Amino acid sequence: MSSAASRPASAPFGPGHTDDLMSFLAASPSPYHAVANAAERLEKAGFRRVEETAAWDGTSGGKFVTRGGAIIAWFVPEGADPHTPYRIVGAHTDSPNLRVKPHPDMGNQGWRQIAVEIYGGTLLNTWLDRDLGLAGRLTLRDGSHRLVNVDRPLLRVPQLAIHLDRSANDGLKLDRQRHMQPVWGTGEVREGDLVEFVADEAGVDAEDVAGWDLMVHAVDAPAYLGRDRELVAGPRMDNLLSVHAAVAALTAVATRDDLPYIPVLAAFDHEENGSEADTGAQGPLLGTVLERSVYARGGDYEDRARAFAGTVCLSSDTGHAVHPNYAERHDPTHHPRVNGGPILKVNVNQRYATDGTGRALFAAACEKAGVPWQSFVSSNDMPCGTTIGPITAARHGITTVDIGVAILSMHSARELCGAEDPYLLANALVAFLEG
């Protein structure tokens, strides 16, 4: 691996963190799997699940709430006051992909196909001619859920041969409705085939399946890349890389009772299509959890206001590394590089929430962790993406800073990052959560 960054002796994470990230990516083909895997790691670290419908107590220790593809976890140090501020790491669990429609069974010209809908701003061409699996959750008639993961070659979106489209290399044009429906066999189409298949994979009766949230994923495993293995190629880095780092950082600091803040992980669903969901950053989930924690510790509205006024959130999401083949698409004075440490994301039009105060907070955390960091700004002639950062700042009135890891091939079925950056980010998050 590259020696671009040296890890201080006090930093808890090193190259083994990147190995673990690759396992997390492979085991989390859907937001529901990502939440289940995060919850399992939290429980092993001593956190306990609390139900939203139950009364909460004000005891210290680690707790977490899950709702669909979202998870909020927090650690209350012994003796924390009701007005103790929070230190939050925000992220999201969803990634652009292809998702199964309500009537999935379709076909044409003797091919059996699955009807899919495009989710988020995915790079459509990256799903072509790739071995694809199927994952997500089934909702049963009793209201319970069952996760399913068909992690083997099952589907394929076949590209038209160049002999039948001589202009393909001059600019591929894909019709989102006609050209993106995957095949999974031949023969006559029979309604109910897909549901019967996934129900069998999940070990339940098809008659018990009342609903589903299923999506396609590439089945090739994450892998180190390059002569010196200094790069990592894998799926869903946007944004499970941040979710994984946040879980690791939270469990690392949850062994201390002298924390001046209450550390929090907030991983939302549906960021890739605007966050407008009960599990999204636009919804009330985070604010409700933080408020209930204040009130469970005997606080009132004044304590809630004091706690929020002193709270800081790091919105951690992947950003753009400078592309060697398209350097002109980047701002000429801001060229984030892989293995150069996490990036601070700035946009004066509030597509990112960072300001000068946030810059100072992030710089202090990186300095404490011994982690290098970089700045990202979009070129003035390119539109800037956004994150949960501005939403979190505006909805809850808390200081928010946008950060992340620089990657290539964002929104592809398979993305690329530096092998050192995941653990550099995790170490910076530990320093931030420690205050």
Q: pLDDT (tens digit, 9 = 90+) per residue, 222-235?
A: 999 999 999 999 99
Q: What is the mean pLDDT of residues 163-178?
A: 93
Tell me if 398 sits within 8 A of 305, measured CB to CB: no
- 186, containing H or E segment: strand 183-186
Q: CB of 114 within 8 A of CB of 51?
A: no
Whether 99 contacts 106, CB under 8 Å: no
Helices marked H in 66-131: none
CA distance to 25, 68, 193, 206, per residue, from 32 (Å)? 13, 6, 23, 20
What is the pLDDT averaged over residues 404-433? 98
Query: For residue range 322-354, what is the model confidence (pLDDT) as tens digits?
Result: 999 999 999 899 999 999 999 999 999 999 999
List of residues 6+ apart from 346 with CB closer than 8 A: 352, 354, 359, 375, 376, 377, 402
Q: What digits encode the pLDDT tens for the residues 404-415?
A: 999 999 999 999
User: Where residue 8 falls among pLDDT bands split at 50, 70, 90?
Assistant: low
Question: Average of pLDDT values for 145-157?
Answer: 98
pTM comes to 0.96
Mean pLDDT of 104-119: 97
Q: CA 90 to CA 247: how far, in whole Å?
A: 11
User: What would the two tokens of residue 382 be?
Assistant: 């390119």
- Please state, rounded to an integer, the average pLDDT across all residues of the chain: 95
pLDDT band at 10 (very low <50, low <70, confident <90, very high): low
pLDDT digits (tens, 9 = 90+) for 64-78: 999 999 999 999 999
Please tell me the predicted confidence (pLDDT) of residue 5.
47
Q: What's the confidence (pLDDT) of residue 256?
A: 87
pLDDT above 70: percentage of residues in the chain: 98
Distance CA 82, CA 3 (A): 44
Banded model confidence at residue 382, pLDDT cuts 50, 70, 90: confident
Kindly report the backbone phi and psi dihedral angles of residue 157, in degrees, each rounded to the nearest multiple of 5, phi listed first.
-100, 100
* Cα 150 to Cα 99, 133, 134, 206, 393, distances in angstroms: 14, 5, 5, 16, 38
- Exposed / middle / buried, residue 395 (Cβ in 10 Å: 0-12, 13-18, 19+): middle
Average pLDDT over every residue of 59-65: 97
What was the pLDDT predicted at 1? 37
